[in-house]
Amino acid sequence: MCWSATADLWAGLGIGAVGVASLASVRRPGDAPLAALPLLLGAHQVVEAAVWHAGGGAGPATLAWAVIALPLLPLWLPVGVLTAA
């Protein structure tokens, strides 16, 4: 989100709550990866808040942010759509 650590934290918690509700409403196991997408995005926002708090750089929070943003999300979304289809 890039506003502030507080904004990222609250956004992450809110989006994560939507993810929990989405997973709770899953009726078919194949829908779970797509329903979990808001949970993954919420976790990404919370990790971004940790990056803000650490002042950026090359710490563990930055590495976690990059792992979620670069390989995980681009792979998760198509897999989620394919399993839900």
Predicted pLDDT of residue 57:
81
* Radius of gyration for the alpha carbons in the chain, expressed in angstroms and rounded: 14
Q: pLDDT digits over 5-61, tens only? A: 999 999 999 999 999 999 999 999 999 999 999 999 999 999 999 999 888 888 999
- Domain carrying residue 19: 5-84
Cα 32 to Cα 24: distance, rounded to the nearest angstrom: 9
pTM for the structure as a whole:
0.89
Q: HSE (CB half, 13 Å, CA atoms) of 9?
A: 8
Tokens of 66: 């990059």
Number of domains observed in the structure of the chain: 1
